[in-house]
């Protein structure tokens, strides 16, 4: 295990969060308002909905619609915490984000590491699922791409904690083989991922959170009883949304494009739900700004926005197939 690399990454993350907390004022009222919405949604999904299904039958299934539509807000709050923007203090920031991730069955430490690596090495070889690697058979690569897009990303994140049950040396070798690269950036990515995979503390936290998440969902399945397929359906639809939205701002983006990301148009009513993720290029250019600061920045720099590209239309555009790297 490369402990030095793990220490380097943790140190860089802590330093970045420290800079964020000193330089940027978190909009606490806005974040608390959205946290209240998601807390209500989580309570509805795990406690209220099974009761309502028993009382009112299939007509209560309509409640699943807002629960699914709030998926980007749930992820967006985790995302803000990853960047140190959710709450003013790091301890509360991480604690709330970890609880949100447990409710979503996401391994918080792995997701945080992966997202920060995504910012550091955007559209490098490990970070472009929409590009054929030139090695895999085209038919298999295409199947893999659509599987990733249609919920595969979320299912992979659900299964990822299982790797922490294997010896760290096995997982490190597996990661090293998966991320093998002859490029300087690729070798650095490999080194950092191998270090994370072998980090004993992180592996322990992922296992602990996974157990808590399994326990929470086991109780939920018990409460749903004969209506358990409704819970599975909600989880799968939320996972589908997350998978489709994951690479959307980077789909078919060329390597010399600004920030290697794009902005999109979205109806104003969707801005708080998306937590302004439609302004993703601006987020990559200014990752130290909270989500509430992006709209004013977009108005001041309208030229960097893809005003002709709609967010939801662009999401569907991904189903055309592989993009290109030029």
Tokens of 310: 């709609």
Q: What is the DSSP string of 13-55?
A: HHHHHHHHHHH----HHHHHHHHHHHHHHHHIIIIIHHHHHHH
According to DSSP, residue 252 is labeled T
Segments in the chain forming alpha helices (H)? 3-23, 28-43, 49-56, 64-69, 71-82, 90-104, 108-120, 138-147, 153-159, 168-178, 184-197, 200-224, 228-246, 271-274, 280-285, 294-300, 311-317
**What's the predicted TM-score (pTM) here?**
0.90
Cα distance from N-terminal residue to C-terminal residue, the chain? 35
Domain coordinates in residue numbering, the chain: 3-252
Q: Per residue of the chain (326 residues), what is the pLDDT tens digit?
A: 445 544 444 544 444 444 443 455 889 999 999 999 999 999 999 999 999 999 999 999 999 999 999 999 999 999 999 999 999 888 999 999 999 999 999 999 999 999 999 999 998 888 889 998 888 999 999 999 999 999 999 999 999 999 999 999 999 999 999 888 878 888 899 999 999 999 999 999 999 999 999 999 999 999 999 999 999 999 999 999 999 999 999 999 988 888 899 999 999 999 999 999 999 999 999 999 999 999 998 887 765 445 558 999 999 999 998 876 65
């Amino acid at each position: 295990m490369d402990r030095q690399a793990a220490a380097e990454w943790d140190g860089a993350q802590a330093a970045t969060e420290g800079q964020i907390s000193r330089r940027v004022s978190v909009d606490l009222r806005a974040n608390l308002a959205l946290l209240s919405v998601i807390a209500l949604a989580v309570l509805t999904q795990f406690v209220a909905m099974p009761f309502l299904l028993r009382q009112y039958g299939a007509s209560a299934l309509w409640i699943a619609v807002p629960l699914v539509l709030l998926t980007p807000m749930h992820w967006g709050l985790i995302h803000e915490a990853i960047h140190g923007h959710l709450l003013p203090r790091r301890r509360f920031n991480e604690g709330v984000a970890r609880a949100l991730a447990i409710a979503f069955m996401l391994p918080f430490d792995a997701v945080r590491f992966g997202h920060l690596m995504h910012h550091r090495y955007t559209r490098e070889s490990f970070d472009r699922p929409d590009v054929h690697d030139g090695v895999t058979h085209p038919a298999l690569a295409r199947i893999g791409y659509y599987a990733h897009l249609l919920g595969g990303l979320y299912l992979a994140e659900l299964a990822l904690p299982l790797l922490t049950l294997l010896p760290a040396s096995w997982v490190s070798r597996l990661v090293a083989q998966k991320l093998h690269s002859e490029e300087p950036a690729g070798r650095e990515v490999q080194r950092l991922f191998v270090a994370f995979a072998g980090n004993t503390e992180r592996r322990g936290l992922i296992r602990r959170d996974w157990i808590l998440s399994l326990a929470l969902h086991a109780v939920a399945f018990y409460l749903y009883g004969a209506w358990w397929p409704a819970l599975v359906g909600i989880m799968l639809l939320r996972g589908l949304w997350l998978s489709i939205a994951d690479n959307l701002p980077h789909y078919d983006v060329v390597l010399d494009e600004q920030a290697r990301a794009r902005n999109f148009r979205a109806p104003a009513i969707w801005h708080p739900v998306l937590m302004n993720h439609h302004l993703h290029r601006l987020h990559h250019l200014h990752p130290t700004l909270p989500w509430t600061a992006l709209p004013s920045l977009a108005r001041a720099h309208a030229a960097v926005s893809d005003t002709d590209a709609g967010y939801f239309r662009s999401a569907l555009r991904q189903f055309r197939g592989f993009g290109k790297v030029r």
